[in-house]
Amino acid sequence: MDADRPFHLYIADEDPILRDMLSNYLEKQGFMVTSTGSIDDLLHRTRQLRPDLIVLDAGLSGLRGAQAWERLQAEGFRVPVVLMTSSEQSAQQLKEETGADDCLCKPFSVRDLFSCVQDVLRQASFVPGTPMDTHRQVRIGDYNFVVASRVLRRGASVRVLSSVEYALLTELTSNPGVAITREQLLAASHTRKDAVMLRTIDASIMRLRKVVEPEPAFPRYIQTVRGHGYMFVPQDHETWPVEHAPAEQAGGAALVN
């Protein structure tokens, strides 16, 4: 990114008063902001000019906001996203289920959003634990993890990773055969300001397994080291121990898969 160019944000929300308030505040903080109340307009604008970050109402009518972001991911657009929600569903739960970079529950202060945007942009440009060789590719089952592109590729199919998913895969694949604690994975994938629990790591690992593992309930590549954390087992190490017990459900004292 050109260091002299301000970050360009898209804000999508049906409430024009909220859009104007957020846009005005963020512009005063030095951001360039484009706002819209339409999902179709957001998709069109993003396809024409990729922003640095999208602030998106998860419940935006038409194609729901969260679904719109998933569509952009499927099309290969690597855009960090902050979802806004006013539902009873907690912001943390929505973040875990969608893989969004962050979520805010309405009502929130403009300062909260500013802090959130700063943290997500910081993570998107630098993820703790990222190796120097970002041009490498790691084979994970049928997928190639392309570090520089922050994506999983399988033939013509592309799965764009969220900042958290990317940080977890980077940390694990940079240390093949090494047991990484959940505390280490949490430190690699979240900032100190994130009020998250270790179970967040379990949810993100489950989501990654559903993508890369032939049988997510019997993980082959992202394995659990019980009582400790997780380990990446490379594809060419067939002799390494492989779990044969089904993945556990959340809860209990044992480490969750």
List the domain boundaries for the chain: 8-125, 137-232
pLDDT band at 251 (very low <50, low <70, confident <90, very high): very low
Q: Judge contact between 246 and 217, C-beta under 8 A.
A: yes
pLDDT band at 12 (very low <50, low <70, confident <90, very high): very high
The half-sphere exposure of 22 on its side-chain side, counting CA atoms within 13 A, is 30
Which architecture, in CATH terms, is 8-125? 3-Layer(aba) Sandwich (3.40)
Distance CA 180, CA 186 (A): 10
Provide φ and ψ at 157, rounded to 5°.
-85, 135
Q: So what CATH class is 137-232?
A: mainly alpha
Percent helix, percent strand, percent coil in the chain, to nearest 5? 35, 20, 45
Q: Judge contact between 71 and 63, C-beta under 8 A.
A: yes
Buried b (16+ CB within 10 A) or exposed e, 26-51: beeeebebbbbbebeebbebbeeeeb
- Label the pairing between strands 151-154 and 157-160: antiparallel
For the chain, percent of residues with pLDDT exceeding 70: 75
Prior bond to 107 cis, omega within 30?
yes
User: pTM value?
Assistant: 0.53
Are 8-125 and 137-232 in the same CATH fold?
A: no
* Residue 126 pLDDT > 50: no
How many of the other CB atoms lie within 10 Å of CB of 246?
A: 12
